[in-house]
Amino acid sequence: METMTLANGLAIPAVGTGTNTYGKEGNRYHGELNGDFSALRSAIKAGYRLIDTAISYRNESGVGTTILESGIPRKEFYIITKIPAEDAYIGSKDLVEQTVMKSLENLKTDYIDLYLIHHPIKDKEKLKHTWEVLESFVDKGQIKSIGVSNFTIEMLEAVHNFARIQPAVNQIQSNPHTWNHELIDYLLKTNIVPVAWGPVSKVTPEQIDKLDKIAENYGKNWVQVLLRYQIQRGVVVIPKSHTEEHQLSNLELFDFDLTKEDQFVIESL
């Protein structure tokens, strides 16, 4: 597995698995929790070690149990979770601290690799005290890296103005529907690693046809080509699948390199 290096010198795997529909009826985001984490067990068996979850997914505890029951040493995993931008979680410093402690409990671990603010916090004071609490957990070694999700350039610069520890990551949508080229360029220039959620979502049949033609040159499929494009430009990808075949396929990204010409075609989709 290739890795990328965060601003603090720590490595993050280049590919992970999302979990927002795991453990739920009908594999639906808003589905009732049913405790079925077979898809996560399958992903771990396939070789995924970056596991991305969030409090709002409602499945932190099941994700933590599945990781623990895998029998694989904790140090081999890279666990990401996220705090919601809601007063119930970030209304005060005490609430932020309680939320992080609950994540540690749910995930059955004494440290979390990457803790993100899930969505922008509009109230600047709440943003500041949330960040300060996350920094304090980094100081204690209970969080290794901190970052944000779905933040714009303006929002990132607001954090930069007061942060003692700068964001290591911004997790954003990036796919042919919404590439976010300008934001990703900014992140790469400022040493913030972009992490793409939904990297193979919202792709049209016409775009798939173009990707298929490129994929033929490498003996790959269109999904692999799309994910490889992101990795080559420095973006971590977190695709998600409920099938072992696709999970395995989504890891087969490190035995080819796209030409500059093919990269240009993809970024122009």
- The tens digit of pLDDT for each residue in 153-190 reads 999 999 999 999 999 999 999 999 999 999 999 999 99
Torsion angle, CA of 217/219/222/224, rounded to 10 degrees? -120
Residues that are catalytic: 57
The predicted model scores a pTM of 0.95
Domain of 203: which CATH number? 3.20.20.100
- Cα separation, 98 vs 110, in Å, equals 15
- The tens digit of pLDDT for each residue in 26-77 reads 999 999 999 999 999 999 999 999 999 999 999 999 999 999 999 999 999 9
Please give the distance of CA 58 from its chain centroid, rounded to a whole number.
16
- pLDDT value for 176: 94
- pLDDT value for 194: 98
CB-based contacts of 151: which residues, under 8 Å, 6+ apart? 117, 120, 159, 167, 170, 172
- The tens digit of pLDDT for each residue in 78-121 reads 999 999 999 999 999 999 999 999 999 999 999 999 999 999 99
Give the count of domains, the chain.
1
Determine the average pLDDT of the residues in 129-137.
Answer: 98
Domain housing 244: 3-267
Q: Is the pLDDT of residue 1 over 90?
A: no
Pairing of strands 11-13, 3-5: antiparallel
- Cα separation, 124 vs 194, in Å, equals 23
